[in-house]
C-alpha cells in the first residue's frame, strides 16, 4: 500500500530557524506521509508558521497531537 503525500511549500524565514508552510488545510487530518514531512520540518526549523488557518479548538488540538 502506498501512502499519499500532500505537497506543501516550505519557505525558511531566517538563516537561523523558523519556516512558513503553505498549501495545507490543517482543519483536515493529514495523511501519515504529510504528517511525517511536517514533523521533519519542525525538527529542522524548530518554529513553523501556518498562516490563514481557520481551526476550531478541537482541530487545533488534533493537529498538534
- Composition of the chain by helix, strand, coil, percent to 5: 35, 15, 50
Model-level pTM greater than 0.85? no
Per-residue pLDDT tens over the stretch 2-58:
455 568 999 999 999 999 999 999 999 999 999 999 999 999 999 999 999 999 999
**How many CB atoms sit inside 10 A of residue 38's CB?**
20
Q: Determine the 3-state secondary structure of 11 from DSSP.
A: strand
Q: Which three cell numbers stand for residue 61?
A: 488540538
Q: How far apart are CA 45 and CA 38, in angstroms?
A: 10
Q: How far apart are CA 55 and CA 5, in angstroms?
A: 22
How high is the pLDDT of residue 65? 85
How high is the pLDDT of residue 31? 92
How high is the pLDDT of residue 4? 53
Amino acid at each position: 500500500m502506498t501512502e499519499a503525500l500532500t505537497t506543501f511549500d516550505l519557505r525558511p524565514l531566517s538563516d537561523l530557524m523558523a519556516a512558513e508552510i503553505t498549501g495545507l488545510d490543517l482543519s483536515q487530518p493529514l495523511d501519515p506521509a504529510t504528517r511525517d514531512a511536517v514533523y521533519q520540518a519542525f525538527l529542522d526549523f524548530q518554529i513553523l508558521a501556518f498562516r490563514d488557518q481557520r481551526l476550531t479548538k478541537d482541530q487545533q488540538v488534533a493537529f498538534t497531537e
